[in-house]
Amino acid sequence: MTRYLVNRVLGMLLVLFLVALFTYMVFFLLSPDPAVQICGKTCTPERIDQIRANLGLDDPFPVQFLHFLEGLFLGRDYGTGASAVHCSAPCLGYSFQSAQVVTDMIVQRLPVTAVVAIGAAVLWLLAGVIGGLLSAVREGRFTDRFITALTLGGMSVPNYVLALALQYVFVVQLQWLPFPQAVPFADDPGQWFLNFILPWTVLAIGYASSYTRLTRANVIDTLSENFVRTARAKGLRPHLVWRRHALRPALTPIVTIAGMDFAGLLGGALITETVFGINGVGKLAADSITKNDQPVIMAVTLLAAFFVVVGNMVVDLLYSAIDPRVRAGATT
């Protein structure tokens, strides 16, 4: 098990390194000269050269990439002399446009993104599993068809449409929810919570729909397994047949997928955060794309990759804890 773990962590580091390299390369090759951006409107070629030299932009790609890695692990300084800015590890870069260290920009926004992701995940797991179970139990009947129709809708409506529609209905027309205002949790927990209801719902609806279908399919498949027949043949009570022999195998794969989806969301929900004016990582990404703020775009991309890769590993470990077949495979 320990060896498996070490292998997994090493593999993960390699993947992250490659992702970093690739991302850096893309931005290195595609990006417009940051020196020009920094320089502003009243700019002379000499000034640009000076900035380039100052920031090490003249260095060849490998050197720049090494600097980037160095910043990631040890921290680094941008510029020289009095105007130098220190960026401590893990340094994800410096946004010249907002004159801020990118790591700080992200760290500020990560909590709210996490809140969005956690709330949505709780909602979609509850709705998806319950909906899927209901659907499976009532297979082919009205409830099943009704739920299936709902999920079809849930999967096909784009998030921004859903967000705008829900906002119109619940905030503008019915006024069940207050107009969203950014309030810190400590100031007004009630308002804070109400602010998140719509974003959570919007994010959850799409996931909940596919989880419902997945749960339904898994449960129906599992119920036709031979071992479920064995459980019945033993004379087990129906609730035990369900709980032990149908639900556990049916829901285990859902844990895996939920972990991955959740990790993906930690990288920021671009559309939903933007529509609801939530100042999270997703909105940061959207804003940076609009402003073409390269270092931030790159950092957010890396962060998302980081969450996906780490989430992947956590899920694998979790899976090996619940599925004995995987567990055995891991030790040999």
Partner 1 sequence: MSLLRVNDLTVKFGDVTVVDGLGFELPKGGSLGIVGESGSGKSMTSLAVMGLLPKGALCTGEISFDGIDLNTLSERRMREIRGDRIAMIFQDPLSSLNPYYTVGTQIAEAYRSHRSGVSRRAARQVAIEAMERVHIKEAGRRVDDYPHQFSGGMRQRVMIAMALSTEPELIIADEPTTALDVTVQAQILDLLAEVRRDTGAALIMITHDLAVVSEVADTVVVMRYGDVVETGSTEQIFSDPRHPYTQALLDAVPRIDDEIGDLRTLGGGS
Per CB under 8 A, residues contacting partner 1 are 225-227, 229-237, 240, 244-245, 248-249, 252, 322-325, 328
Residue 240 C-beta: closest distance to partner 1, Å: 7
Six-digit token string for 216: 């339904």
Residue 32 C-beta: closest distance to partner 1, Å: 55
Asked if 113 and 268 touch (Cβ cutoff 8 Å), the reply is: yes
Closer residue to partner 1 in complex, CB, 86/232:
232
Residue 71 C-beta: closest distance to partner 1, Å: 46
Closer residue to partner 1 in complex, CB, 184/235:
235
| Closest alpha carbon to 127 in 108, 150, 111, 105 | 150
Contacts by 238-243, CB closer than 8 A, 24 or more apart: none
Query: Which SS3 state, helix, strand or coil, does residue 94 take?
Result: strand
Closer residue to partner 1 in complex, CB, 137/271:
137
Name residue 77's beta-bridge partners: 86
Which residue bears the tokens 């992701």? 117
Closer residue to partner 1 in complex, CB, 189/238:
238
Residue 212 C-beta: closest distance to partner 1, Å: 22
Residue 311 C-beta: closest distance to partner 1, Å: 23
Closer residue to partner 1 in complex, CB, 77/323:
323
Closer residue to partner 1 in complex, CB, 36/328:
328
Distance CA 147, CA 106 (A): 39
To 5 degrees, how large is the angle CA 133–CA 135–CA 140? 145
Contacts by 153-161, CB closer than 8 A, 24 or more apart: 153/209, 154/205, 154/206, 154/208, 154/209, 155/206, 155/209, 155/210, 157/205, 157/206, 159/202, 159/203, 159/206, 159/271, 159/272, 159/275, 160/271, 160/275
Residue 222 C-beta: closest distance to partner 1, Å: 10
